[in-house]
Structure 1
């Protein structure tokens, strides 16, 4: 080996040829025999040869000085050598540099050799020289690739102190390369270079470059995808980097892609390992046939917006994204037009129908207007990707809470009120459905021979535009003051309309279960006024002495509950305690992104298992999936890196906004992907902790 080193340093052509060719063969066939620590002079000799590469910066269009001092200039491509002495000499010199670089590249694969090279400042300077050579010289492509491979091997042992480090800047310049091999090597080298450095070097990377790397994960290229994710993991490890990108990177879309990659190349378990759940099948609940009625306070808020923002906010309040849902364009437009028709007469302007349909993609990015050809050849114009909500959503992203009280009497159908908070809903139930002194049922003598109607009230017109108000506790009223439905077919008069258009003598007979039409006496005048405003209640006749003698009984008719049927219970507190078990928890109407699906209790189009979707009919096999694992059975590869990037994003200041509403999807992945289950659980903990910190 000493002779090889001396031959390299001799600069004698024949000796150098022999020495370098021997080293190339040894580094390829028996790389374990090539140890720089055993031969201290070997690495400096090879680096010295590599350090002379800067003389080729003008190669392919170069000037060369001959032995007699004459300067020869040529434009010949080095791959098409001329017969001149100048081109032949340059070719041989470049070959020697390439051979030295190849030996260093093969030797650096050994971690001990890579550590040895990382301690050499001369080696770092030589690598920077080679990486900063002109990138448009075809003859230098091979040399550049060897140097990138060397940097990739030694990067783990380097400790740059700032983003102005010459080697880091040289590598960052290749992140915009269109050469796949160069880009992969540069990304891998930078990811390894910053992994053990506390300084945030990656903040110096241009945000357009980061956006390009984010876009590259959409390609079906596993090697490129892996290095892009490695880079993004190091980039997002510093939370401030997420804010630095500004609008250049669509982090919401990136989060969606990362969730998709959590099941990248997932393999289903064999059938024998699948779990079998007997006597259960999941069915999707049909979407609502019409959008929900909007409460007056939400309508007034919408009226404060100019077009087209008003149309956008209305669509988000009444509809939600659903990849399998669709709404006809005419029905959507008619619903909007009908809802604001009365206000148009008062001077408000609506968005034209054509512009309204185009605006759908602004409200919902995944929605699209399309034409469907029916079997009979008839064309149907639809908006694909949305469906009506069960209950409206406020401009803050909070779902209204719907009262599901329904009586067994056909004269009193399901309550249609909805409220902006759980507290308002509970006040409504106490005041309307379970009052302190419900009206007993009339005597049989009062139920016969109904008298002609008198003093019937007529429907009042829609109220004029009110001044701005800060009180949002206005429920959805089904009475005469309520606006028209949103352009969809009406379901007929409601119970309150029937009652107010009928005289006392024609009113349906009241029983303890229909006592929900009375207002609860409230001690506080403000609370009483709020309860009355939340749910307008028709007047009721005073109780007679004979009525007072009858026992007062209470019932629960939440969603058809028969807990106290048919005789009821005289203990009001007991009934109220039971009703509380039906009321949704406080998290029910937490703010959601505009494109989020409603909670499972509100919609089940995604197949979420609820009481409405579990049908005892047949067997269902739940098959688990497994992504890449290492030799110890631990998660690895692209799915693991994607999960770790999501965890970094969740820790940032915008983590709550970016991951809000996606917990259900993450839980779904954890349910089927066993290797990632613990990592996703950690991610969910970070999301929850971030929410508590912000709140």
Structure 2
């Protein structure tokens, strides 16, 4: 339907939101293509509803279906539009209807990227009802008036629809609704004319009381002396004058029906007379119109019972209907659909899916539940059919074309696949798997399906059969003669389908896992073990995981390990062990664990404002105020929210530093302006007044540094040389080299050589006497020597131990550790093979010390939420544990000649090359450490036994 030309244009928003114009243009274009009208001027409770805002609010909360499925959610949406609290339910539904009529289809198309349903089942209907995403022409059914009146719901959805071809519904002429009855019914006869009926009540009214005809009333004249006969009651004239006739009886008028006033009735009577005559003559059968047909007026069984009865009915149409819905039910409601609640459902599905053999062989399987003599096509439904493989080999193959299939063949195969898929979906539920495990005919079906001819049309059913076997084999004990066991081994040994091989390995690994019986996996050919070892080399995690699960079950039995040892020529067990050790580190992630080597030592607050070295002061003097004072403040102060300094002390320090360098061009700042600049430089600093007897003006949030800092952020170091009987030097120097040159020249007294680059330690000192000992912060390193004074060279080399190393490696460590130049780099010690910083007992409190840590590396295997190893590393380590534990036991079961050969090779010959890798995994892979410890214990124990 094309949109009307009178479609309303969207109003221009007051403030255009980003994307509003694009939204309006896109929505208008979509409405034009769909053939609907978008009401951009929609109003609810007298308030304009902006569709762009409504779209953003609804899509941000998940869409129309999510909000409709939440209780009172549309009321919450209405809050964003200020619809008010009065009559909130009506306004919420009106807002929901606005979105439904204008934006529901647009949401399906643009937000969910799907095709919206037709207009007839979306916009043309009310917003009250089901979801819009799941609504299609096939599954949508309008509500039934009779069922809704009785309180029934239409939740069954597609119950009443069958997968048949669409047929044109022909309306019954007499089955119209209320509207049909009003148009096709008989016209009601007009009301008959009312004849004039005079008022014949018993009390006679006077002429004055009848108000219809007023006539002059003659006045009674009194004539004295005259006697009139009409006034004499005994006279005849009096009787005639006062005579009152009897009231007439009311007439009942009935219209006469004639072809003129009711032709429809006469035509209907004529038609009925003709039909009666034809029935009497046997020309037509009696009409059943108006009779209640069987099943009419009743709802019938629900969808579950309907599908069960249809499957067992042997009627092709009903079976098609049942299989169509069983696939949907098993997929959507499989967790609630159990075989024990619907007897004969599993039997019916198995009987139907066994019909696949009739498509390829000249056979029709029959399940018999008796001890009668069975033919080749009869399956034992009580104990199973042990010779099913031999029977399959004796079947006669039908010539089935592979390139082109007939329509009947394709239809039958499709329905068989639906039955197999239904069994597969329902078998995923544990209760259904247990139910199927008690059915011997299921084992026969699995053997038949797995051994179907190799063809593209049978691949899907084979996969269904293998997945069913994967869920059910854990409840079945199997020996090496079991047909299903042999069929699964054939899939592993000869199969080329990766999915079939993986599923077969899983099914074999789960045999008897839920029973007390041990899954021994007897009768395996060596070729299967060889293929599994080759598959382990592949970069296919799913396939390798299935192989490791199979090997874990296989190697848990000592006899099977002995089978591997006895066939060591064809199965190289040593290389197999190497591959298992390789998988121990599969997808391992590297992590580091931090351990504290030294505790943090906090820096103490400085007592006085540090001086500024000459080279740094020269840099400050190059600037004019207020830049000069700003650089000075950053150099000698730092932020500390707990500290403060008095304003007079700060102003005095500023005057003391720059008064002698004041010129006419650069004068000092006024005190108020200088104090104001402090807050602009340090964000946490502010001027305050401490109340008290003597108010104190302070600046809160800064404190002096222990050493000045240059504009590049490099901190100077203080010279800690303190000669006996003198005060500390206290000179600030920027680099360790400058500190070394200062100590050698000023305190040791050594001059430079003639080249001006190196120091002349050979000529001792220019001073009369060398310092007797190292005076760096009370070191006294040479006091332990017996009376001999150190040389200048010895003093100089020792001073370097107090300064940071200036090599490249040390510079890198200095860059990231921020070790102060007056603090010796802590020595290293070995901890569990890792290098760790030793604890330094003495630390200069002026510089403090950051926390020192060392890090230990770990290679962690994938783990679950509980921290247990999972994946390929766990599968490989448990197989290694089985081999290390069972190889000595298996060796005792070997033949004497092979036992002697094994004893020469011994356990150490097999696991010796792996010991270093195992120790590495145990040290660095914590989730596997306990397993590796057990493996090494079994290796040592086995080595002792082999010796």
TM range (shorter): 0.3 to 0.5
> Which structure: larger Rg?
2
Q: TM-score, normalised by structure 1?
A: 0.46
